[in-house]
């Protein structure tokens, strides 16, 4: 298998919010020292510019410019253009989203073969309850009969072990040509982690980070986001999943990411556990408001980390364009 066509493993992790740590982190010089300490009505650490002040106000929505762009092949677009299919309030069947991703990747391969360029793309959505396995996942991490799973079970080409997706969890599938970024899979994984870390800090001041030797994002001992990707000729697909307000019970039916000694957590659970230190206004935020806030921030952080100009689609446009890809 070519080096550029391989899967990246998935787990979850924790670390400082900047991208200059990458080489030191890979060399084992960084450890999980980020603290998760509530202070009055704020979580420890200074909120970033554009902080979505859930603690002080009702969810203040981040706004991103909406620019029309056809999914047709275009000649030499800006190197950082990225079509954003924001379906974050929509439950998309796993198999459908999987087909969309593969079609978007194939589009870009075809354009490249013709000497043309296409803008990158990103999908943001939720899934109905589903378990997924990576290319090298062990069935020993399933606590049920694989022939009689409690929910749908898919074996995919992504890296990593078994995980669960369900309502209340935001899933982000970037379709990025890493030749425009860095043709370095470790750099890409660390960058996805950074997107999540920045979003957690931005929306509600939660300080998260990485664990040496693992991939993903953690808050204390709790794993709050998983990452599992595939790269085909340096075009990425699959991606990240952030537990915002989803039911965590289905994780009990598996050993998530093959890690048996760490709990899985969600943003909602973390905030509720320290509600007395945060203030009642935050506790009153609905699941949909949390999902809206995190979807907005994940887009902002993705654009920042990967230097992207997001060209946003409304839900009807998203569904129309994506459905044409697979029919």
User: How far, in Å, CA of 131 to CA of 300, rounded?
Assistant: 28
Q: Which of 83, 76, 100, 81 is nearest to 237 (CA)?
A: 100
Q: Which domain holds residue 276?
A: 6-325
Handedness of CA 262, 267, 268, 274 (dihedral sign): positive
Q: Is 82 a catalytic residue?
A: no
- Quick one: pLDDT at residue 179? 95
Query: Does 211 map to a domain?
Result: yes
Query: Which stretches in the chain have pLDDT values below 50?
Result: 3-78, 278-281, 283-284
Query: Does 80 map to a domain?
Result: yes
The model's pLDDT over 225-268, given as tens digits with 9 standing for 90+, comes to 999 999 999 999 999 999 999 999 999 999 999 998 889 999 99
- Specify whether the CB–CB gap between 264 and 223 falls below 8 A: yes
- Specify whether the CB–CB gap between 303 and 76 falls below 8 A: no
Query: Does 261 map to a domain?
Result: yes
Range list of β-strands (E), 62-182: 81-91, 120-126, 130-133, 152-155, 163-165, 169-175
Query: Does 100 map to a domain?
Result: yes
- Quick one: pLDDT at residue 287? 94
Instruction: Output the domain CATH number for residue 160.
Output: 3.30.930.10
| Residue among 59, 82, 84, 257 flagged as catalytic | 257
Query: Does 38 map to a domain?
Result: yes
User: How far, in Å, CA of 163 to CA of 173, rounded?
Assistant: 15
Per the structure, the count of domains in the chain is 1
Query: Does 1 map to a domain?
Result: no
The residues, any chain, with a CB within 8 Å of residue 117's CB and separated by 6 or more, are 74, 75, 76, 77, 111
- Quick one: pLDDT at residue 79? 56
């Amino acid at each position: 298998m070519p080096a550029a066509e391989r899967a990246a493993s998935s787990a979850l992790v924790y670390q400082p919010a900047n991208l200059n740590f990458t080489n030191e982190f890979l060399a084992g010089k960084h450890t999980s020292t980020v603290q998760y300490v509530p202070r009055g009505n704020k979580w420890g650490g200074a909120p970033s510019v554009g902080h979505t002040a859930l603690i002080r106000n009702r969810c203040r929505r981040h706004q991103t410019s909406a620019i029309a762009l056809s999914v047709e092949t275009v000649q030499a677009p800006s190197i950082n253009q990225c079509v954003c299919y924001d379906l974050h309030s929509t439950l998309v069947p796993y198999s459908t989203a999987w087909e969309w991703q593969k079609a978007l990747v194939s589009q870009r391969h075809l354009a490249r073969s013709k000497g043309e360029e296409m803008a990158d793309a990103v999908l943001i959505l939720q899934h109905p309850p589903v378990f997924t396995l990576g290319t090298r996942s062990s069935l020993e991490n399933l606590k049920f009969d694989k022939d009689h799973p409690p929910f749908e079970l898919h074996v995919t080409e992504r890296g990593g072990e078994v995980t669960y997706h369900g309502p209340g969890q935001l899933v982000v599938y970037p379709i990025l040509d890493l030749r425009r970024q860095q043709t370095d899979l470790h750099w890409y994984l660390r960058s996805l982690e950074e997107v999540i870390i920045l979003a957690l800090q931005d929306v509600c001041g939660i300080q998260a980070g990485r664990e040496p030797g693992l991939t993903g994002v953690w808050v204390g001992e709790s794993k709050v986001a998983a990452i599992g990707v595939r790269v085909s000729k340096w075009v990425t697909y699959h991606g990240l999943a952030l537990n915002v307000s989803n039911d965590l019970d289905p994780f009990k039916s598996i050993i998530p990411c093959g890690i048996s000694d760490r709990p899985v957590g969600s943003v909602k659970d973390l905030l509720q556990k320290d509600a007395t230190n945060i203030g009642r206004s935050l506790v009153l935020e609905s699941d949909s408001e949390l999902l809206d806030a995190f979807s907005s921030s994940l887009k902002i952080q993705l654009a920042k980390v990967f230097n992207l100009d997001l060209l946003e689609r409304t839900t009807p446009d998203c569904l129309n364009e994506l459905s044409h890809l697979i029919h």
